[in-house]
Amino acid sequence: MRRGRGWQLAGIGAALAALSLVPAGAEKMAQRSTKPAPAHDATADPREETRHKVLAGETLGGIAARAQVPRILIIEANALKPPYAVRDGQVLVIPRRRVHVTKPDETGFAIAMDYGVPWSAIAAANGLDARARVRAGQKLVIPTMATVPPSPALLPAPTPVATADADGPDSAGPRARADAPVRFAWPAPGMVRRGFLPRAKGAVSREGGSGAGRRSPHDGIDIAGAKGDPVRAAAAGLVWYAGKEPNLYGNVVIIDHGKGWFSAYAKLAKVTVTKGETVRSGERVGLIGNTGSTPTTELHFEIRRKTVPQDPLALLPERR
């Protein structure tokens, strides 16, 4: 049974995010820091602190000025609502700037997925139209998002996953031990047309266009199918994104399965769920199509752990 849930789209590695790639559900961020900075103390340099405890009489504008961080980034990082008032004792995340220089053929969706920040938030922080394409060499500020844990009732309970040792006919190499907290199922029955190929450091995953090929980096797998065939959730979870990605991936659905695990379904002819819904494993989330950058009718499917692409064939059950 689905339950609608309001959520804030804070954010794959775009909606694949990213587009907007990353929910009053769960805003996800890449867990890049291993130890959170302590809340404000009297001796802390406001230009360096990453968390600030609001003192009596302080305003958001004043905090932003002393921290030398744009007010809009603090608003985005803490999911503040108009009129953006802060209260004594409130702890604010102070997002220190991360800058990303876009590479050729890179998309906003991919950038959002890689940083675990919704493309809508990245676009807002840079004064960009979220529907516009990014260009190579563009410098983007990546805002820090506050983490709002999803309700445990809306996430699937951890389920042990069996180890798969044999090579399947579609696998590109030995199948790794699947240690995900949920059991993933095939989202569509078709044959795998193109497999997963990990990126070298600094490389960009390619779906089509210049430089794309079977040996080009590929963050997921492409599953053949007829236009209009159902695409089903690989595991239960919360719909984190459902909509159109303007560059390569067409219509996209991203599902948050908890504990940092996400699955993404792209090139859909139609999206049949809405963001904030909870879905069961096997529930239809869309229809196979060709809305991405290539004319081929297929499902582009990804699994990510804390924004890092995983080989779906290592996590999906063997086909008999």
What is the CATH number for 159?
A: 2.70.70.10
Higher pLDDT, 12 or 131: 131
pLDDT score recorded for residue 151: 32
In 179-215, which positions are buried (b, 16+ CB within 10 angstroms) versus exposed (e)? Answer: ebbbbbebbbebebbbbbbebeeeebbbbeeeebeee
Residue 110 counted as domain residue: no
Query: Does a structural domain hold residue 106?
Result: no
Residues 299 and 164 in one domain: yes
pLDDT of residue 59: 94
Out of 59-63, 116-120, 153-157, 285-289, least confident range: 153-157
Instruction: State whether 305 and 160 are in the same domain.
Output: yes
Ranges of H-type helices in the chain:
60-67, 71-78, 108-115, 119-125
Give 223-280 pLDDT, tens digit per residue: 999 999 999 999 999 998 898 876 778 899 999 998 889 999 999 999 999 988 999 9
- Tell me if 108 is assigned to some domain: no
210 domain residue, yes or no: yes
Phi, psi (rounded to 5 degrees) for 15: -40, 75
Same-domain pairing of 189 and 86? no
Residue 79 structural domain: 51-93
118 in a structural domain: no
Instruction: State what percent of residues in the chain have pLDDT above 70.
Output: 68
Q: Evaluate whether residue 138 is within a structural domain.
A: no
Q: Number of folded domains in the chain?
A: 2
Residue 281 shares a structural domain with residue 162: yes
pLDDT, one tens digit per residue, over 10-46 is 335 544 434 334 333 333 333 333 344 444 455 568 8
Is the same domain home to 157 and 63? no
Q: Please check whether residues 207 and 294 belong to one and the same domain.
A: yes
CATH code (residue 66): 3.10.350.10
* Res 169 pLDDT > 50: no
- More reliable by pLDDT, 160 or 203: 203
* 203 located within any domain: yes
- Examine the domain organization and report whether 159 and 70 are in the same domain: no
